[in-house]
Amino acid sequence: MFRFFVRRLIGAAVIMLIISAVTFFLFYAIPRDPARAFCGKICSPTNLELIRHNLGMDDPLFVQYWHWLTGIFTGRDLVQFGACAAPCLGYSFATQEPVFAAILDRFPVTVSVTLGAAVVILSFGIVTGMIAAWQQGKPLDKIASTSSVIGASLQIYFVGPLVVFFVVDSMGLLPRPSYIPFTEDPLGWFVHLLIPWFVLSIIFTANYTRMTRSVMVEQLAEDYVRTARAKGMSSRTVFLRFAWRGAMIPIVTIFGVDLATLLGGAIITEQTFTLHGIGELAVRAVQNTDLPMLLGVTLVGAFAIVILNIVVDMLYAVIDPRVRLG
Amino acid sequence: MTTVTWDREPATPRGPGTFLSVRDLSVEFSTEDGVVHAVDALSFDLQKGTTLGIVGESGSGKSVSNLAILGLHDPTQTKLGGEIWLEDQDLLRASRSTMEKLRGNRIAMIFQDPLTSLSPYHTVGRQISEVYRKHKGASRAEARARAVEMLERVGIPHARTRVDDYPHQFSGGMRQRVMIAMALVCDPDLIIADEPTTALDVTVQAQILDLLKDLQQQFGTSIILITHDLGVVANTAHNVLVMYAGRAVEQGTTHEVLREPRHPYTWGLLGSMPKLSSNVDLPLLPVRGTPPSLLSPPPGCPFHPRCDHRQLVGSDVCATERPELSPAEGHRDACYLTLAQKREIFDGKIKELL
């Protein structure tokens, strides 16, 4: 178990190093000079040079990357912005705010949107998929299968405004989506995020319905499920305790893969409902050629995915006793 | 849906002591390519405390007919006909809950591959004890004690600790013992063992068969042993049923069928068995041709396209009319050759090969 963690954490560090390096060097492939943006409309070459120096952009690329990297652990002193304590991800070129603080500030929003949507996806997708598998070939199965195809072909930015228009504007059933910190008002947090959760989960839920159905149908044909029936277990027990146990493994696997897509979906959702989360930071950073912010957001996203994947691997060991972490 | 056809009033010509009686059982699957006639007019009886060996090639309907006894066929695609009487109960027409109470309790099944047939997600103790809890209403602790007892009975060392292990932590032979322990936990009257030793190596195979025999002697259990291994049958079964293309082609005591086989297909089966004493250079004699498609079984005797002796029958009856099992009692077979011809062929050509 301990070895598993050490190995996986080293692996995670390596992955994040590679991702940050790729992002860093790709950034310089963009033919835009952030120093020029700082410099303003009337910009003398000496001024530009000075800003470059203050931003640390006159160093060779590798040195710049090295400064950025070490800054995370030791903090650094930036000529342009002043001292920056560890973990230092630099200051935004665009807004001048410290990147780490900005991300920390927005983090709860994105986590709320993503995790809430994950709960909706898994519970709805799995339940409807199980019903479809249980009712194989019967009307309920067909309804579930058809609606999942429709769901899978919808888009967040299309459904989002539509739902807001009907549910909020016309019927007034729910308040307009916004973020209220959970610690301040749990109920308000819940009610204000319901629409984003459902809209983000629509496409995924449909996929999980179809997948759950097919893996359940597969599991029901397994030898050990037949044995359970041969033992006289009721069809419900066979379905819920035996077949479902085996079906969880592929579902968890796919969910691990989907986490990254879900985070991407959270960005679109935040944009659609103007929630001030990390997604918004990311979009703005790209628009403003804001390297520190872009790197910070990328790193945090990668960190989240890598950690969640470790959690998924641990879940395997819980579900399947044949899997041993080590 | 399972459709059971009532083609006639349930007549039950059963002898005394008959415990299980299968009459005119037919099993048909509807597939994309058409209807598969997996089992056709199969009848047999099983006495208390005896073992019936059912032999035949893959796809001859051995397993399918026994899954039908337990009602484990896929009800959406299967059509069953005939009757299956367990004492005074027709299993084909029993309700789902009746069948659930029978399975694992009065009738238990042992499957071929204990690795895939045991749940990989539950400890063996739990898999054994849940049967006991379900059927006997035992408490968790009682059922666990029973599971340990069963594991000891089937010869698993350190049963007390191994009860908490998962199937993948056992060897193949031990796993099959677990399977047997699970089948026996409610003291069933009938055990259906579907190729119980096929996945095991020979030494373990002998242990498992001995174990089944011992248990039968102790508890008077009836056993249906499905296998394609005639050696296994010779060792354990009292009676033998030879199946071909979903039909019974020969039936009798083990001694009768293996020592004086009458049906050309049985000769083929016996002739294709490797023998330790035979010359290494002598080729094995497989049955000529391939098993028929059960989508459209050949008319007449299903074995006639592969039969080497049909010209002796004289007329074309083999290819047109289906032979019935005869005589009505005792050692019977479904073939148009006369008894004298069969004896002559067997003594003259077949015996020396065996």
Contact yes or no for A200/A269 (Cβ under 8 A): yes
CB contact under 8 A, B103 and A245: no
pLDDT at B9 over 50: no
Contact yes or no for B108/B183 (Cβ under 8 A): yes
Question: Residue B182 and residue B163: Cα distance in Å, rounded?
Answer: 12
Question: Residue B333 and residue B313: Cα distance in Å, rounded?
Answer: 15
What does the pLDDT read at residue A226? 92
Contact yes or no for B14/B21 (Cβ under 8 A): yes
* CATH class entry, domain A99-319: mainly alpha
What does the pLDDT read at residue B1? 46
For chain B, give the percent of residues with pLDDT over 90.
44
Question: CB distance from A227 to chain B under 8 Å?
Answer: yes
What does the pLDDT read at residue A268? 87
List chain A residues with CB under 8 Å of B166.
Answer: 321-322
CB contact under 8 A, B135 and A232: yes
What does the pLDDT read at residue B125? 95
CB contact under 8 A, B118 and A229: no
What does the pLDDT read at residue A326? 61
Please, which residues have CB within 8 angstroms of residue B173's CB and are 6 or more apart in sequence? B200, B201, B204, B207, B208
Distance from CA of A112 to the nearest CA of B (A): 33
Band of pLDDT at residue A144, cut at 50, 70 and 90: confident
Question: CB distance from B194 to chain A under 8 Å?
Answer: no
For chain B, give the percent of residues with pLDDT over 70.
94
What does the pLDDT read at residue A159? 86
Mean residue pLDDT of chain B comes to: 87
Band of pLDDT at residue A58, cut at 50, 70 and 90: confident
Token code pair at residue B307: 């039969």
Band of pLDDT at residue B251, cut at 50, 70 and 90: very high
Q: What are phi and psi of A285, to 5 degrees?
A: -60, -40
Question: CB distance from A222 to chain B under 8 Å?
Answer: yes
DSSP H stretches of helix in chain B: 62-70, 96-102, 114-117, 124-136, 140-153, 159-162, 172-184, 202-219, 230-236, 254-259, 264-271, 317-320, 339-345
One-letter amino acid identity for A308?
A: L
The predicted-structure confidence for B170-199, as pLDDT tens digits, reads as follows 998 899 999 999 998 998 999 999 988 887
Task: Give whole-number Cα distances, A275 to A95, A196, A270, A278, B50, in Å.
Answer: 18, 9, 5, 9, 75
The predicted-structure confidence for B80-108, as pLDDT tens digits, reads as follows 999 999 988 899 999 989 999 999 999 99
User: Domain limits of chain A?
Assistant: 2-84, 99-319
Contact yes or no for B221/B192 (Cβ under 8 A): no
From the list B72, B134, B182, which residue is nearest A226 (CB)? B72
Question: CB distance from A136 to chain B under 8 Å?
Answer: yes
List chain A residues with CB under 8 Å of B103.
Answer: 229-232
List chain A residues with CB under 8 Å of B76.
Answer: 136-137
pLDDT at B252 over 90: yes
The predicted-structure confidence for A275-312, as pLDDT tens digits, reads as follows 999 988 998 988 888 888 988 998 888 888 888 888 88
H or E stretch covering A206: helix A186-220
Please, which residues have CB within 8 angstroms of residue A75's CB and are 6 or more apart in sequence? A83, A84, A85, A86, A87, A88
* DSSP 3-state of A245: helix
What does the pLDDT read at residue B16? 61
Vertex B71 angle, CA B70 and B74, to 5°: 135
Which has more confidence, B221 or A43? B221
Which has more confidence, A40 or B173? B173
Mean pLDDT of B231-256: 92
From the list A227, A229, A232, which residue is nearest B105 (CB)? A232
Q: What are phi and psi of B345, to 5 degrees?
A: -60, -45
**Which residue has tokens 């005792």?**
B330
Please, which residues have CB within 8 angstroms of residue B57's CB and are 6 or more apart in sequence? B228, B244, B291
What does the pLDDT read at residue B164? 95
